[in-house]
Structure 1
Amino acid sequence: MPPPKKRPPPHRSLRTRLLVAALALVLAALVVAGLAIGVILHRFVRGQIEGHLDAQIVALRTGLEAGLLPRDRDAPPFDRGGPGWAWEVRRGAETFGSGSLRGGHITVTEPGPDDEPDRPHPADGTGPRGERLILRILDVPGTPPATIVAAAPRAALYGPLREALTSLALALGVLGLCLIAGLALQVRLGLAPLRRLRGDLAAVRTGHRERVPEEQPAEIKPLVAELNALLDQNAQNLERARGHVANLAHALKTPLATLSMALAEPARDPGGALRLQVDAMDRRVRHHLRRARAAALAGSARGRTPLAPRVSDLRDALVRLYAEKGVAIELAVPDDLTVPCEGQDLDEMLGNLVDNACRWCRSRVRVTALPQANGVRVAVEDDGAGLAAEAAEAVMARGRRLPARSQAMTGDEGVPGHGFGLPITLELAELYGGGLSLGRSDLGGLKAELLLPA
């Protein structure tokens, strides 16, 4: 069971950083908006209360100046019983008050600034029972001078304000949730091109694409251009490395194999010392060639090659080559099947197997390919004499030919070939992480199964 993927630390995640920054900005904006609206509501509600008080003071002043001040001017809301809304007129030794004072008096504790003497000014004070009030005061000149005081309970200010702020807080909370959800969606949509870019790079790495699509947002286009330039450079380096490996293989492997076969005769190497040296050189050359080729194939430029066209072209060539023998090659390869191999390597592997089958068959060769969970399996079968189970391992050795198989077909070892095809195919398959196995076909001959991983 693979270990669980570790999530990156929050400070390394663009999504987390964007969401945290957006959340902080939204919360700050909501707090500032709440405070600003609260101040506005406070001033509005206090202005409404002071407007009622000023209207009462104006009515009292008008009656006072006309000498018609009655004992009872308790217009709404000053007609309410109990402490709260009240007014009081002090002129000389006389004091008139609303009925809500019930014989008590208003005490002014903190007179406000009197910037405009002709207009009421604010103040703070208490009622007859010590309750805190909101006051408006007007000093009226005359003989004797008079002072008019109008009062309102603080509950008239903070009660409606509390209700309004509660509703405001709920509204801002809902707005905040909507904004956060919208920002989360915006961040997801904003990072979607990066997710697509990651998928495109994965497709390049697995061979489904050769380059990253250039149709990208303007902010990502320079990055994509650099990635494609890097992929092109890697492809060129890979092609050069493959060329060097192929040149070295042709320059060293074939002469060594020929020399090894020549020294296999006891008369040419009685003690076998030269054969041992040649085998050691061959192993070292193949070892370093394998490492070089594997390093080249490990790059990101490995592509996926369609299988059906390659097999079809190979059939056409071999049918003409073995026309005198009348070989019929049957194909059962899906058109959409691809393998993660370079085209040249795939041609060499399939060419060795199908050519070997055509050489040893009687008249019929069958090539089938099927996708499997762990890769693609290609089977090449013929109706020839086949191989015994104990001979399958020996035939995979480089340069080893089995007289039994050739004699079964021709009576001698005169069938062309050096015996290198199957070992080379096995080496190439192993470089890609696959393999090659030999068995008995239901056609009666050899069945070679080539496995190439997905």
Structure 2
Amino acid sequence: MHLRFGSLRTRLVAAALAAVTVALVVAGLAIGVILTRFLRAQIDGRLDAQITALRAGLEAGTLTARPERFDGPPFDRPGGWIWEVRRGDELVRSDSFDERRPPANLMLRELDLPGEPPARIFVGAPQVALYGPLRDVLVSLAVALGGLGLVLAFGAVAQVRLGLAPLRRLRDHLAAVRNGRQARIPSRQPEEVRPLVTELNALLDENERNLDRARGHVANLAHALKTPLATLALALRDPARDPEGILAAQVDDMDRRVRHHLRRARAAALAGPGRARTPLLPRLADLRSVLVRIHADKAPEITLAVPDGFALACEEQDCDEMLGNLLDNACRWCAGRVAVTAQRVGAQIEIRIEDDGPGLTPEAATAVMARGRRLDEAVPGDGFGLPITLELAELYGGALNLGRAASGGLRATLTLPG
């Protein structure tokens, strides 16, 4: 699971791990305090019991007669648990008391008894009696809490991943809508995501209605323009009205431009090209088979180095027009070889069409982008191919650039959304 700075996943995981860490530290400290109090209470109880026994023996007179009776565990080990009773000049100690090596770091309890002479009882336990068992328990506790922390950390990561899964699915559905694989986002979503999905589907419905209205307006405009143009074309068939055919050619050109811009208006009504999807390699293969026959006299070799899964987010007819113009231009000027390659650059696909012809200078490459401008009048063409291709590419949020290929010919780079 990759964590990225500033993402919801990173924030949620970091917050969960911080909470788990704080909780485990607090729990460890609290358990440590409770265990310390418990062990200290046990030791205090043992010392109080020893004082009670010593007091009873002192009052009964058995302490000085048989002090070894009061050296039961744990007071039978040197340097550890000790007891001592003083009454005037009389001193009775446990066998565990070694004057040459008096125990250090003792926890002492003492009791003064009234009488003649007064008596004082001392009992003590080594610090290790408290901190030794406490250390052993805390080591085991730290291991257990560390294991629990790992389990909780993995649980937090799994919880975040599971909780954000609907957002990942929503992203996939949006990509499917954008690529034209589905028309709507499924409404069956978690309660927190459902309002967002409802708004997105409402937006898609509104765009669909706008598209239908735009198509109706385009149809009306087509009828309004093409009918007068058809009338003019019919009238200009009379040689007396247009002896040289100049006006008829202009009418045909106007009709072609009207049809071209009506198609553009239909595409613009989509508010972007995202919902169309055209596989790239099949279109290039079809265009190659057509152009090889058209330029049979030159018999150009057209190679396609395009991944099979690439698809363009544009209408099929627009894809054919753009690629067809560029491939036809390359076949017309090449010496015999045309190479087509494609690669993905971010969210776009970059298509390169290179030929081994004479190529263009930077000034000439800029000039041929002007509508109707032709550099060689001897070669058939009307000079609208490259400008139309550029216009279409920019309509879809792409670009068209001309440069020099490694072979010295022209390299046309067409960039379109994938």
Residue equivalent to 1:268: 241
Paired position in structure 2 for 1:223: 196
Residue aligned with 2:229, SS? helix
CA displacement at 1:188 relative to structure 2: 1.2
Question: Displacement, 1:99?
Answer: 1.7
Any idea what SS the aligned residue of 2:61 has? coil
**Taking every aligned residue pair, what percent have the same amino acid on both sides?**
62
Q: Would you say how many aligned residue pairs link Structure 1 and Structure 2?
A: 305
| 2:72 aligned with 1:75 | yes
2:357 counterpart residue number? none
Residue 56 of structure 2 corresponds to residue 87 of structure 1: no
Q: Is 1:145 matched with 2:108? A: no
- The SS at the match of 1:10 is coil
- C-alpha separation between the residues in 1 aligned to 2:141 and 2:17? 20
> C-alpha separation between the residues in 2 aligned to 1:226 and 1:139?
85
RMSD: 3.7
Q: CA deviation at 1:80?
A: 0.8
- Residue 317 of structure 2 is aligned to residue 430 of structure 1: yes
Q: CA deviation at 1:211?
A: 1.4
1:187 aligns with 2:160: yes
Distance 1:208 1:26 in 2: 43
**Cα distance in structure 2, aligned partners of 1:238 and 1:146:** 107
Shift of 1:58: 1.0
Partner Cα separation in structure 2 for residue 8 and residue 256 of structure 1 = 63
1:226-248 Cα offsets, whole Å, 9 max, x none, are 11111111110111112212221
Q: 1:243 to 1:374 in 2, by over 3 A?
A: same
User: What's the offset of the Cα at 1:78?
Assistant: 0.6
1: CA distance, partners of 2:110 / 2:209 = 93
Shift of 1:86: 0.7
Q: Aligned with 1:89: secondary structure?
A: strand
Structure 2 Cα separation of the partners of residues 137 and 428 of structure 1: 98
Tell me the secondary structure at the aligned position of residue 159 of structure 2: helix
Give 1:102's match in structure 2, choosing from 83, 98, 105.
Answer: 98
Amino acid at match of 2:182: R
Contact 1:203/1:209 (CA < 8 Å) preserved in 2?
yes
Deviation, 1:60, is 0.4
TM-score (norm 1): 0.59
Partner amino acid, structure 2, of 1:60:
L
Which residue identity does 2:54 align to in structure 1?
L
1:20 aligns with 2:32: no
Establish whether residue 248 from structure 1 lines up as the match of residue 247 from structure 2: no
Partner of 2:5: 10
Answer yes or no: is the 8 Å Cα contact 1:137–1:149 preserved in 2.
yes
Displacement, 1:291?
3.0
Partner-residue secondary structure (3-state), 1:151: strand
- Aligned 1:282-431 pairs, distance under 5 A: 282=255, 285-286=258-259, 288-297=261-270, 299=272, 302=275, 340=277, 373-374=281-282, 389=294, 429-431=316-318
Is the contact between residue 3 and residue 9 of structure 2 (CA under 8 Å) also seen in structure 1? Answer: no
The range that moved more, 163-172 or 206-215, is 206-215
Question: Is contact 1:231–1:301 with CA below 8 Å preserved after alignment?
Answer: no
Conservation of the 8 A alpha-carbon contact between 1:210 and 1:301: no
Name the CA shift for 1:272/1:289 in 2 (closer, same or farther; >3 Å).
same
- 1:429/1:25 CA distance change after superposition, 3 Å: closer
- Aligned-partner SS, 2:190: coil
SS of the residue 2:269 aligns to: helix
Query: What letter is aligned with 1:183?
Result: A
With over 3 angstroms needed to count, the CA separation of the structure-2 counterparts of 1:130 and 1:430, relative to structure 1, is same
- What corresponds to 2:335 in structure 1? none
**Corresponding residue for 1:159?**
132
Secondary structure of 2:96's aligned partner: helix
TM-score, normalised with respect to structure 2: 0.63
CA distance in 1, matches of 2:106, 2:136: 20
> Residue 137 of structure 1 aligns to a residue in which SS?
strand
- Unmatched runs of 5 consecutive residues or more in structure 1: 1-6, 105-127, 304-339, 342-370, 380-387, 392-426, 438-452
**Corresponding residue number in structure 1 for 2:45:** 51
- Asked whether the 8 Å contact 1:88–1:97 carries over to 2, the reply is yes
Q: Could you give the per-residue CA deviations for residues 301-334 of structure 1, whole angstroms, max 9, x where no partner exists?
A: 847xxxxxxxxxxxxxxxxxxxxxxxxxxxxxxx
Deviation at 1:54, TM superposition (A): 1.5
Is this contact kept in 2: 1:429–1:436, CA < 8 A?
Answer: no
Asked if residue 133 in structure 1 is aligned to residue 106 in structure 2, the reply is yes
| 2:175 aligned with 1:178 | no
- Residue 63 of structure 2 aligns to a residue whose secondary structure is coil
Q: Distance in 2 between matches of 1:208 and 1:60?
A: 92
Letter aligned with residue 20 of structure 1: A
Q: 1:188 & 1:208 partners in 2: Cα distance?
A: 26
**Rg larger in structure:** 1
Cα distance in structure 2, aligned partners of 1:428 and 1:59: 101
The structural deviation recorded for 1:271 is 5.9
Q: For 2:192 and 2:113, how far apart are their aligned partners in 1? A: 73
Contact 1:88 1:149 in 2 (8 A): yes
CA distance in 2, matches of 1:301, 1:235: 13
Deviation of residue 153 (structure 1)?
A: 1.0
Pick closer, same or farther for the CA change 1:129–1:265 going to 2, 3 Å: farther
1-structure distance, mates of 2:228, 2:286: 31
Return closer, same or farther for 1:300/1:50 CA change in 2, 3 Å cut-off: farther
Secondary structure of the structure 1 residue equivalent to 2:125: strand
Deviation at 1:178, TM superposition (A): 0.5
Distance in 1 (alpha carbons) for counterparts of 2:214 and 2:3: 37
Alpha-carbon distance between aligned partners in 2 of 1:188 and 1:266, rounded to the nearest angstrom:
77
Please say if residues 4 and 10 of structure 2, whose CA atoms lie closer than 8 Å, have aligned partners that are also in contact: no
Shift of 1:69: 1.3
